[in-house]
Amino acid sequence: MDAPINHALQYVLRIADACLIHGQRLSEWCGHAPVLEEDIALTNVALDHIGRARSLLALAGELEGRGRDEDALAFLRHEREYRNVTMLELPNGDFARTVLRAFLWSSFMKVLCRALASSSNAQLAAIAAKSLKEVRYHQQHTGDWVVRLGDGTEDSARRMGEALALLWPYTTEWFADDDTDTEAQAGGLGPAWSSLKDALAGRCAARLRRGQPDTAGRHPVQNHRQARRAQRTHGLPARRDAVAGPRLPRGHVVNNAQATGRRWRRCPIPRCRCCRSSTSASCVRSTWPTATVCR
């Protein structure tokens, strides 16, 4: 017989995993943003998300009661065990797609954190109150970029429209309630996400109208929340596994490859020997040939 579902744990993990995955995606812009100031700004936003994920994962570890801390939950799960919404794990694409996704998610988080500030779980309420200050800035900053690009050149407006056409249908997944939403709302842990739909629309409407994109006629995507994800997170767990190493108990010493049951090999992605970027064409300081080594 299957063990009963810990709905409080699943509810917290859903938010924690979303912050973790979004923070990792944003961090990929470090050193690659179109302007220097935005390069640092996106890195700081990513760090805010990782910090929030750490607090939430620590709470999730307590709710789980199996002795796993935030690091174990962040690094030592399989991809099917992550509960983040699909939109946040999509590849970054261009800058317009990145800032629009960040704007949509920060707008949602602003509404969610306000509701979670009165959670029956004091620790979750404290995390939400602290996070509210951060997401207000995130929404303002990314919203300004949505307007700037949408009302900018013909090319920037086109890119913003294409980003909205891709991303907006994924928001329908956020409001497809399941048993976890029902139990969380009934127990006072947090709101069912469907109850936040109108508030989110109000938060986004003004910026999206000013920034040209139109949400009318966008077809919703399939709800993946209850599905077992066979092909999810687009390579992010593999990168986490490379950081975490073999899935072994803490304190275990590995002496050889036979003990781990895994064979390690060089990364097949070419790296620039000078700046370690994924392609030497992006390095302005070196003409060294690429080398197949991990950074």
171 in the same domain as 41? yes
Mean of the per-residue pLDDT values of the chain? 79
pLDDT classification of 58: cutoffs 50, 70, 90: very high
Main-chain dihedrals φ then ψ at residue 215, nearest 5 degrees? -95, -5
What is the per-residue pLDDT for 46? 97
Single-letter amino acid code for the residue at 78: H
157 in the same domain as 75? yes
Query: Does residue 251 sit within a domain?
Result: no
Q: Which domain holds residue 63?
A: 7-238
Weakest-pLDDT range from 1-10, 189-198, 286-295: 286-295
Query: Per-residue DSSP letters for 226-276?
Result: TS--SS-GGGHHHHHHHHH-S---TTPPP-SHHHHT-------S-B-TTT-
Which tokens go with 257? 């490859």
Query: Does residue 204 sit within a domain?
Result: yes
pLDDT tens profile 110-151: 999 999 999 999 999 999 999 999 999 999 999 999 999 999
The rounded Cα 82 to chain-centroid distance in angstroms is 11
What is the per-residue pLDDT for 154? 94
Q: What is the mean pLDDT of residues 42-49?
A: 96
19 in the same domain as 160? yes
Query: Does residue 29 sit within a domain?
Result: yes
Cα separations in angstroms, 231 against 80, 168, 223: 8, 21, 15
Which pTM does this prediction carry? 0.75
127 in the same domain as 272? no
What is the per-residue pLDDT for 89? 95
pLDDT tens profile 183-238: 999 999 999 999 999 999 887 887 776 544 455 444 455 554 544 343 455 556 55
Tell me how far apart the alpha carbons of residues 23 and 34 are, in angstroms, rounded to a whole number.
19
Query: Does residue 92 sit within a domain?
Result: yes
What is the per-residue pLDDT for 36? 84
Tell me how far apart the alpha carbons of residues 160 and 56 are, in angstroms, rounded to a whole number.
32
- Provide the percentage of residues in the chain whose pLDDT is more than 90: 61
Which tokens go with 89? 């794990």
101 in the same domain as 47? yes
Main-chain dihedrals φ then ψ at residue 291, nearest 5 degrees? -135, 140
SS3 104: helix
